[in-house]
Amino acid sequence: MKTKITSFLRRKNFKAHSLLFLCLISFFSHKGQNLLWANAMLGPGGGQGTEMVVDASGNVYTTGAFSGTTDFDPGVGIFTLTPSGGIDAYVSKLDASGNFVWAKLFGSSGIDGGQDIALDAAGDVYSLLSLGNTNYIYKLSAAGSTVWIKNIGGTGESITLDASGNIYVSGGFAGSSDFDPGAGSFTMTAAGTDIFVSKLDPSGTFIWAKKMGGTGSDASYGVAVDASGNVCITGGFSGTADLDPGAGSYTVSSGGMGDIFISKLDASGNFVWATAMGWYANDLGYSIACDGAGNIYTTGNYVGTVDFDPGAGTYFLSGSASAFVLKLNASGTFGWAKNVGGAPQSIALDAAGNVYTAGGFLGTEDFDPGVGTYTLTSAGNYDGYISKLNASGNFVYAGAFGGADYDICFGLALSAAGIAHVTGFFNGTADFDPSAGVFNLAGPGTTAGYIFVVKLGTTALGINEATNVDNTLYVYPNPSNGNFTLQLKEELNGGELIVTDVMGREIFKEELKRATQQIELNINVKGLYFMRLDSEGKRMTKKIVVE
């Protein structure tokens, strides 16, 4: 049913392509009701936003790579950074409204890039940087000053922190590498290219490092920590690999060029469980997240027919070049798996257990993994997208960003209120309003890649949201002038109706006692609104449009 992207820049692959010039300008949306703001980095060069994170106050931190003198201030001021080499890494901070706070450059004489970024509870920033052939963790204060720098072993791909501020990095390495950034040493040697995960304390002091793999090409691209301190990683392996980093063994074999793996270690780095899945092509897990109950969500790409149930049962997904979202519970047993549109690069969860992915897609894609369809069509070449599934894996919404050229989302982050943010790069002119509106950003050329940072509304993609699954709530007429009829299939035993705007602000609240009731909103502002009905422990939602 779906055709997926099989070849485009992975979110951390800075060295696979050249970056051109850019400068930073900012746009605030008044047209697209779901787009709060979008910033673009334009100029005589290029770059890409790789990953991002949002703090408790809504400040937005991004990391990535850029070339040429760049103005990182999206306002009327100017704040330029000039790379010391051809391509350098950056970390930038914008406030919740998209205004410039600070930006920092990190570089060597070689090719550099920001791989990933994380925050601790105090608001300090941890950026995983690739500078030349060496990987570093830079700890910055919320004001952007350097707290400490650690040289870490291997090629780090992903970084995360636990509730105590301990730092975890995963990636891959070849040959021998010292994973202790201090005066001591902890050297591991790979048989081919092996998986690693390492743990540092909040001061950057080495605690442990573990390796997994075999004689093939193996690496982790995502790491997450659950509420109990267990460490979950995903990535890819080829040939035969031992996923138990201890004295025991847990051997898996790929069915083709490479398979997906998911592994869980405890807080001390001891093996808990692992699983692998794939078929004949190069299948990879790109990103991973854990919810409060310890459930594990992974996204990536696969080809062919793959059994995503790691247990005795089977659950097959099929596609010529497909994307998946997989849920496993804390013990590694199967929850659900969905064949989703596009090629996801990042995954995130909100407090309600909804699952967001962002990435890129080409042509026409169906983003509804269920029996329904919800298609998006790219404007020309690849476009970026963001999509949302509920906690059961059912489709909620999807929306696209882009234009006639190459555009993609690499990083995705949610605020504490569930507001989605994405970063990546675009070419030429691209529309960053994922709803029916249009909000174009334009680069000075058509061949360079330009960094973007986008903030969406609380309900994000608005009009593209699916209706409630049980379909017991009806609203008509819709659109309306604000006066409409609400109808339920069954009589209510008490219920509360709340209507919010796209910013999540409550504008109407009323107790419902009948299955059919007239509603008068008395709204002067036309646009999209969101209705929620809570009754007898159940929640039903609808979108309404006031004209």
422-443 in b/e burial notation, b at 16+ Cβ within 10 A? Answer: bbbbbbbebbbbbbebebebeb
Whether 406 and 479 map to the same domain: the answer is no
Residue ending a domain, among 407, 438, 464, is 464
For the beta sheet containing 231-237, the strands, ordered from the edge strand earlier in sequence to the opposite edge, are 219-225, 231-237, 259-265, 271-277
pLDDT above 60 (res 395) = yes
Q: Are 186 and 291 in the same domain?
A: yes
Domain of residue 242, residue span? 14-464
Looking up residue 533, the CATH number of its domain turns out to be 2.60.40.3080
> Is 99 a residue whose pLDDT tops 90?
yes
Domain end marker among 424, 443, 464: 464
Residue 1 lies in a domain: no
Contact status, residue 502 vs residue 527, Cβ threshold 8 Å? yes
Q: Beta-strand (E) ranges in 96-152?
A: 100-106, 112-119, 125-131, 134-140, 146-152
* Residue 225: CATH number of its domain: 2.120.10.30
In a domain, 4, yes or no: no
Same domain, 496 and 408: no
Residue 524's pLDDT band (cuts 50, 70, 90): confident
**DSSP 8-state symbol, 14:** G
Which positions ≥6 away from 247 have C-beta within 8 Å?
Answer: none
Element (H, E) at 56: none
pLDDT at position 17 over 50:
no
Please state, in angstroms and rounded to a whole number, the distance separating the CA atoms of residues 280 and 268: 35
Q: Is the pLDDT of residue 487 over 90?
A: no
Which one, of 337, 387, 353, 392, lies nearest residue 367 by Cα?
A: 387
Q: Are residues 42 and 151 in the same domain?
A: yes
Q: What is the dihedral of CA 333, 338, 342, 343, to 10 degrees?
A: 10
Confidence of residue 468 (pLDDT cuts 50, 70, 90): very low
**CA 170 and chain centroid, separation:** 17
pLDDT-derived band at 320 (thresholds 50, 70, 90) equals confident
Identify the residue whose tokens are 């070419």.
427
Same domain, yes or no, for 443 and 534?
Answer: no
The pLDDT tens digits for 440-449 are 888 766 556 7
- pLDDT tens-digit map of 172-228: 999 999 999 999 999 999 999 999 999 999 999 999 999 999 999 999 999 999 999
Domain co-membership, 341 together with 477: no
**Do 441 and 484 sit in the same domain of this protein?**
no
Beta strands in 201-342 (DSSP E): 206-214, 219-225, 231-237, 240-242, 251-253, 259-265, 271-277, 284-290, 296-307, 316-328, 334-340
Distance CA 187, CA 95 (A): 41
Taking CA atoms, 234 is separated from 152, 172, 264, in Å, by: 20, 12, 9
Q: How far apart are CA 361 and CA 384, in angstroms?
A: 6
What's the whole-model pTM score? Answer: 0.81
Give the pLDDT confidence of 125-176 residue by residue, as tens digits. Answer: 999 999 998 999 999 999 999 999 999 999 999 999 999 999 999 999 999 9
Does any domain span residue 122?
yes
One domain, residues 76 and 212: yes
In a domain, 86, yes or no: yes
Any domain includes 486: yes
Report yes or no on 481 lying in a domain: yes
**Mean pLDDT across the stretch 314-340?**
93
For residue 132 the two structure tokens come to 């030349």
pLDDT-derived band at 504 (thresholds 50, 70, 90) equals low
In a shared domain, residues 434 and 339: yes
> Do residues 513 and 438 both lie within one domain?
no
The pLDDT value given to residue 489: 62
Residues 6 or more apart whose Cβ sits within 8 Å of residue 391: 352, 353, 354, 355
> Is there a domain that residue 20 lies in?
yes
Distance set, CA 307 to CA 313, 318, 368, 382 (Å): 9, 9, 20, 28
Among residues 405, 411, 321, which one has the least CA distance to residue 358?
A: 411
Of 407, 429, 464, the residue that ends a domain is 464
Give me the phi and psi of 11, to 5 degrees please: -65, -20
327-to-295, 301, 314, 331, 335 alpha-carbon distances in Å: 7, 15, 14, 11, 5
pLDDT digits 0-9 by tens, 376-386: 999 888 999 99
The answer on 154 and 126 residing in a single domain is yes
How many structural domains comprise the chain? Answer: 2
The DSSP bridge partners found for residue 424 are 409, 452
Q: Distances in Å between the alpha carbon of 331 and those of 206, 238, 507, 544?
A: 28, 25, 43, 41
Read off the tokens for 13: 């692959």
Q: Identify whether 52 is part of a domain.
A: yes
Q: Are residues 144 and 230 in the same domain?
A: yes
